[in-house]
């Protein structure tokens, strides 16, 4: 298959389970991929898992740092040429706490990665994007709901949708599509850490709690979410922009 043949793609949060699953699919579809993540060691492991090769490179960066964002965009263009796909996927969770106890520093840190990170990625990548490209931002089912105590993560995920809608309108004349993807709980280490924290708050197993409120009765896999990212990244979604793609097992229905 060749859905992304000779396309240059940036994936932030590229060493995590979803970023890595997307990278595998993108490469299989003919793309050139720049993986961006905070930790150079996990990036090296991710590159090794992908088999190395000339179509994948890495750049360690703090996505909330404008200097770092400029650096990974420049590194991508130098290595592979102008950008066709920006998958803004980096994320962190924060904590769960009553509003009066919620740490302001944690709120700021989560907002910086999800919202400032996605904003800076677009700000610096768009001038180097080919017309007809695609921007995909990883939001969450949390970006469609509110839950007690999840102040930073849920607020940030809602804000990403607003950013997406502004970008979709502005970039439509260049045929650059901009969409958010909204996974439900995924079977990965990130979600497990969320569920372990939640268990302390609700006094029961967090994984079981989520499975009970997901109509399909289970967590999604990184590969399942990545297939939906590929749809938004490729020309298969050529008439889709400004959209929220729910990949949540029916949780938001």
Report, as an integer, the average pLDDT of 123-135. Answer: 98
Nearest alpha carbon to residue 228 among 215, 246, 250: 246
Domain presence at residue 3: no
**Is residue 25 domain-resident?**
yes
| pLDDT score of 191 more than 90 | no
- Shortest CA distance to 233 belongs to which of 23, 4, 80? 4
Q: In whole numbers, what is the pLDDT of the chain averaged over residues?
A: 95
Q: How far apart are CA 50 and CA 33, in angstroms?
A: 11
Q: Rounded to an integer, what distance in angstroms lies between the CA atom of residue 89 and that of residue 37? A: 10
**Average pLDDT value for residue range 66-84:** 98
Residue 200 included in any domain: no
Whether 208 is covered by a domain: the verdict is no
Distance, in Å, from the CA atom of 31 to the CA atom of 221, rounded to the nearest integer, reads: 22
pLDDT of residue 209: 82
**Is residue 238 situated within a structural domain?**
yes
Eight-class DSSP state of 186: B
User: Residue 64 sits in which domain range?
Assistant: 8-186+222-247
Q: Over 90: is that where the pLDDT of 71 sits?
A: yes
Strand partners, 33: 9, 56
Positions marked catalytic: 153
pLDDT at 34: 98
Dump pLDDT digits (tens) for 96-120.
Answer: 899 999 999 999 999 999 999 999 9
On whether residue 52 sits in a domain, the answer given is yes
Lowest average pLDDT, out of 72-86, 163-177, 204-218, goes to 204-218
CATH at residue 64:
3.40.50.720
Q: What share of the chain is helix, strand, coil (3-state, %, to 5)?
A: 50, 20, 30
Q: For residue 204, tell me if it sits in a domain.
A: no
pLDDT score, position 53: 86
Domain count, the chain: 1
The torsion angles phi and psi of 134, rounded to 5 degrees, stand at -145, 135
Q: Confirm whether 2 is domain-assigned.
A: no
| Structure confidence by residue, pLDDT tens digits, 28-48 | 999 999 999 999 999 999 999
**Closest residue by Cα to residue 135 from 164, 93, 106:** 164
């Amino acid at each position: 298959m060749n859905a992304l043949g000779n396309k240059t793609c940036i994936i932030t949060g590229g060493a995590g389970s979803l970023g890595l699953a997307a990278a595998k699919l993108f490469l299989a579809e003919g793309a050139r991929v720049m993986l961006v993540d905070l930790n150079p060691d996990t990036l090296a492991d991710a590159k090794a898992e992908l088999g190395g090769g000339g179509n994948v490179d890495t750049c360690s960066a703090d996505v909330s740092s404008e200097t770092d964002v400029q650096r990974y965009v420049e590194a991508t263009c130098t290595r592979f040429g102008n950008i066709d796909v920006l998958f803004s996927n980096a994320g962190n969770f924060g904590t769960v706490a009553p509003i009066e106890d919620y740490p302001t520093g944690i709120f700021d840190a989560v907002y910086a990665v999800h919202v400032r990170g996605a904003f800076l990625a677009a700000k610096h990548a768009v001038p180097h994007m080919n017309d007809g490209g695609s921007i995909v931002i990883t939001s969450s089912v949390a970006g469609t709901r509110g839950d007690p105590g999840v102040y930073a993560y849920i607020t940030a995920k809602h804000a990403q949708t607003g950013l997406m809608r502004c970008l979709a309108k502005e970039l439509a004349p260049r045929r650059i599509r901009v969409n958010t993807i909204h996974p439900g709980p995924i079977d990965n280490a990130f979600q497990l850490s969320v569920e372990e924290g939640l268990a302390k708050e609700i006094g029961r197993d967090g994984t079981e709690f989520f499975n009970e409120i997901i109509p399909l009765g289970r967590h999604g896999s990184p590969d399942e979410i990545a297939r939906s990212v590929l749809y938004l990244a490729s020309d298969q979604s050529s008439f889709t922009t400004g959209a929220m793609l729910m990949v949540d097992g029916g949780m938001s229905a």
